[in-house]
Structure formats: C-alpha cells, structure tokens
Structure 1
C-alpha cells in the first residue's frame, strides 16, 4: 500500500515546534489558559498527543487515536466563543514559526477543524427551546 503524501509541505519537527510555541501562548492567555489548565495536568504528554493529531492530519501518520469532538463536547467549560481566540493564537504561532505558504495551508486546515469542533460544542450547548448558546 502506498503512503499518502502530506497535505502540504511541513515536517514533524515543524509540527512539534508549532505545538510547543502555541501552548506557551495558550498558557498565558487570560481566557484560554484557565480552560486548558482545568484539563491538562501533564503538558508534555498533551503536546505529544496534539503533535500526533497534527502529524495524522497533515502527514497521514497513524499515531493519534483520540476523538477531539468528544473531548471538546465533554469538557464542560469549552464554549463556542473560545474558538476565535484559539484560532487567532494558532494563526499567530503559524506565522511566527513557518514560511508563509506553510502557515496559510495549515491555517486553512485548522480553521476547517475549528468549525467542526465549534459546531459540535454548539450542538451540545442549548438554551430553552433548543436555541444554541453561542458564547
């Protein structure tokens, strides 16, 4: 069986660098930091898992076995309005760590995944009459 080519030009080392830099920013963020801190007790293990997620998504490696939708739905403190600042920090990290064409390609993928995660969270968080709570 022939391996699939990467979605775009990025190496595993670059993925690791982006993930590490991103989570340094997340931990300092006034809105996102406390949300992550409530769930992540072992940052190196979390970062390895997220590197595996991106390596699976971009490089087609098969080292990730999680369910991001379920994790975000079950967290209890993840709100739809958190995805915009998350993506803004991620885009900032991509621009700082990668060449422009790499950053653009990865950003497009991250925004696509972010829309799916946000939709899953919106679907779970509903007010009276089933109206989604968007904040």
Structure 2
C-alpha cells in the first residue's frame, strides 16, 4: 500500500462522510438535488467513503468517474460547489484535528475545481459562450 496522502483512518473517513451527508440532506438548495439522484443513502455513503479511501489512503475499491457523473447530472450547477465545499469544510473542522482537516480540505477543493470544470464545460460552447438551451 502507498503512503497515505493525509493521516486519517478509514473510521474517520466514514464519520466525516456520514456527518457531511446529514448536512447535505438538510440543506435547502443541495438536499433536493442529492435526493433526486441518491436512492440508497447507506450505499452512497459507502461509495463516497471508498472514493476518499482511494484518494487519501491509496486503497483499491472505488470504481467510477466523478467528473462524468456530475457533468451528466443535468441539475448540478457550477454555483453549487461553493456551498457544497463549505459544508464539507465545516464537517472536516468539527470531526478532525486542524492539520488533518486542512490537508483534506485542500484535496477536496482541488477535486471540487475539477468537478466544477466538468459541469461548466457542459454548460458552455467553444470559446466560453454559454449554452442557453
């Protein structure tokens, strides 16, 4: 196994993911979007925990294309990533030591920029012209 990118345990990852999705479900703007796509919350949380275990700990197990999933979800908009990341940052700060929270937050923001770019690309034509239909 490779060295972990961040000193965090699988149990801490699972706890952060569970708490984050509690917040997402309660959020007035993000909750309905997630509810439209997630029908099995425990399975979704396990999948996202596997994603983070792969990204942080180098563990195998996650299979998928987050950029494609977010790009193809027609109701995910670029402006949703700021509140999404703010909720994630809040959760990290409450659940983890400061250094661990900061390192994971930096990784999450890099990934968030990639996801936002995929969604933005879906909504623009060559040259950055917005798609209106």
**Band of TM-score, shorter chain:** over 0.9
Matches within 5 A, 1:107-126: 107-126=105-124
Per the TM alignment, residue 8 of structure 1 is displaced from its structure 2 partner at its CA by: 1.2
CA contact (8 A) 1:122 1:132 kept: no
SS at match of 1:53: helix
Is 2:30 the counterpart of 1:55? no
Q: Paired residue for 2:84?
A: 86
2: CA distance between counterparts of 1:5 and 1:46? Answer: 26
CA contact (8 A) 1:123 1:132 kept: no
Consecutive aligned runs of 4 or more in structure 1 exceeding 4 Å deviation: 127-130
Per the TM alignment, residue 129 of structure 1 is displaced from its structure 2 partner at its CA by: 7.2
- Number of residues paired by the alignment? 131
Cα RMSD, aligned residues only = 1.5
TM-score (normalised: structure 1) = 0.93
2: CA distance between counterparts of 1:66 and 1:51? Answer: 13
Structure 2, gaps ≥5 residues long:
none
2: CA distance between counterparts of 1:93 and 1:132? Answer: 34
TM-score (normalised: structure 2) = 0.95
Q: Paired residue for 2:70?
A: 72
Change (3 A) 1:57 1:32: same
Structure 1, gaps ≥5 residues long:
none
